[in-house]
């Protein structure tokens, strides 16, 4: 059985939760990282939804790509589906990723379902920052989720100017009850 690749753009980058034989930065084409998913449990409530990351169509996204042994396909895919498809707001897809060593691979990725009720759409920096600044859920303040994500991306030397802009604007809007 052939090895396969998994693309991570959020917490999967620094906390994959599965064994892999290689990991390197990769550029996914056709999708961008965005705070485009309403969170009603972990980072918000139904009355005051927070925002979490999704891959939305258009542009490209730098993330981490993990090579997984083919013999581990079933348990790794089971794990990923349990992690990513809880509310079915993400769709399991494959995408072309260019690795830092120049190779192109096809990787499993989870993209935002634009037809799902939790899809927030394309938000501007200020609008996203305002929503994040006033939301909290079972896993804590939404502002902490975004700040942690930006910090991890910086540690990995991955820039996301839009998300950094949201993080910069959050402190001006923080009014969590």
Residues designated catalytic: 84
| Cβ-Cβ contacts under 8 Å for 83 (sequence gap 6 or more) | 17
Q: Residue 18 is encoded by which pair of tokens? A: 């599965």
DSSP of 154-173: HHTT---HHHHHHHHHHHHH
Residue recorded with tokens 């996203």: 128
Q: Residue 13 is encoded by which pair of tokens? A: 């980058």
Task: Select from 56, 45, 14 the least CA-distant residue to 153.
Answer: 14
Residue recorded with tokens 């059985």: 1
Alpha carbon distance 142, 37 (integer Å):
12
119 secondary structure, DSSP code:
B
H, E, C per residue of 27-46:
EEEEEEEEEEEEECCCCCCC
């Amino acid at each position: 059985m052939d090895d396969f690749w998994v693309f991570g753009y959020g917490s999967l980058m620094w906390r994959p939760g599965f064994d892999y034989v290689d990991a390197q930065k990769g550029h996914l084409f056709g999708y961008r990282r965005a705070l485009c998913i309403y969170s009603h449990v972990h980072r918000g409530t139904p009355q005051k939804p927070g925002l979490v990351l999704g891959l939305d169509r258009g542009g490209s996204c730098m993330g981490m790509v993990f090579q997984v042994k083919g013999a581990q396909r079933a348990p790794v895919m089971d794990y990923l589906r349990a992690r990513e498809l809880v509310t079915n707001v993400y769709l399991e897809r494959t995408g072309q990723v260019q690795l830092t060593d120049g190779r192109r691979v096809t990787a499993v990725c989870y993209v935002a379902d634009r037809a799902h009720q939790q899809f927030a759409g394309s938000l501007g920096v200020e609008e996203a920052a305002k929503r994040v600044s006033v939301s909290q859920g079972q896993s804590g303040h939404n502002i902490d989720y975004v700040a942690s994500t930006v910090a991890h991306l910086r540690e990995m030397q991955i820039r996301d100017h839009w998300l950094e802009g949201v993080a910069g604007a959050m402190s001006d809007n923080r009014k969590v009850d």
